[in-house]
Amino acid sequence: MLLTQSSWMEVEDYLQRSTSILVPIGSIEQHGPNGLLGTDAICPQVIAEHAQGLTDMLVGPTFSVGCAQHHLGFAGTITLRPSTMIASMLDWTASLQRHGFERIYWLNGHGGNVATINAAFAESYAARSFATTPSRLELLHKLQNWWQFEQVMSLCKQLYPVGDGQHATASEVAVTYAAYPQAQKNVSMQPKIAPTGSITHAEDYRRQFPDGRIGSDPSQAKVEDGEQIIQRAAEAVAADFERFARS
């Protein structure tokens, strides 16, 4: 069930049977010469959309802009400051709590969001702990990176044994191509596999990684591979969400 395509009455009915919701969370940032700027938002969103067909799950709107300051040297990247992202996540949380949601499962598509998401959880729990009148409702957050399920990692390793990489990976590009086949881009990579290194600020990033990729050869990405990854990840998310909702 998708929140953006439901009526308020349908959400109210859902709350009678479950107080758990999944929120895809991503980023709008460059993904190399053939990757889409929306990659990190598209991946968790399509996986969640698939997963909600496998179990009783409400999928919220995608929190699509995250922390991507290090990608600002490339056109089209949009970022929040960590402090803005925390404030925004707290407002999403407060809105959902207002309706009775107690468990929020954040399905993440961007490694650069992890520290800030965890900081937002800490703020959220602190606000609850400081409250002089404790809420009768439970509050539980979970962060899950879509690519970090064991069964997803093993599939990506099998599909792309060489050059899956760290950023603009072949597997995430394949997922977006499966979602939007018309957006595929045929680009030859120079060098074939991008360099690796650590990340600081925007100028440094562009100097070290001139075409935006880190350690990857995303020209390997194929629609059929993306379809397999979506299926595998959706099954893992559906099972994990069921466990979370029962916890």
**Residue 70 DSSP one-character state:** G
> Measured from the CB of residue 121, what is the shortest distance to Ni ion in angstroms?
21
| Candidate list 23, 38, 40, 176; residue touching Ni ion; CB under 5 A | 40
Helix (H, G, I), strand (E, B) or coil at 200: coil
Strands (DSSP E) found in 18-120: 20-25, 103-108
Partners of 143 in the β-ladder: 106
Closer residue to Ni ion, CB minimum distance, 97 or 216: 216
Closer residue to Ni ion, CB minimum distance, 40 or 235: 40
> Measured from the CB of residue 39, what is the shortest distance to Ni ion in angstroms?
5
Closer residue to Ni ion, CB minimum distance, 66 or 82: 66
**Among positive and negative, which fits the CA dihedral 203, 208, 213, 219?**
positive
Strands (DSSP E) found in the chain: 20-25, 103-108, 140-145
Which residue, chain included where needed, has tokens 């059929």? 224
Closer residue to Ni ion, CB minimum distance, 19 or 216: 216
Residues numbered 162-191 forming contacts with Ni ion, rule: CB under 5 A: 172
> Are residues 39 and 109 in contact, defined by beta-carbon separation less than 8 angstroms?
yes
> Measured from the CB of residue 31, what is the shortest distance to Ni ion in angstroms?
6
Q: How many residues bind Ni ion (CB under 5 A)?
A: 3
Give dist(CA 181, CA 102) in Å, integer.
37
What stretch of H or E contains 154?
helix 150-159
> Measured from the CB of residue 216, what is the shortest distance to Ni ion in angstroms?
10
Binding mask 204-233 for Ni ion (x = CB under 5 A): ------------------------------
> Measured from the CB of residue 181, what is the shortest distance to Ni ion in angstroms?
19
Indicate the residue whose CB is closest to Ni ion.
Answer: 40
Q: Which residues contact Ni ion by CB under 5 A? A: 39-40, 172
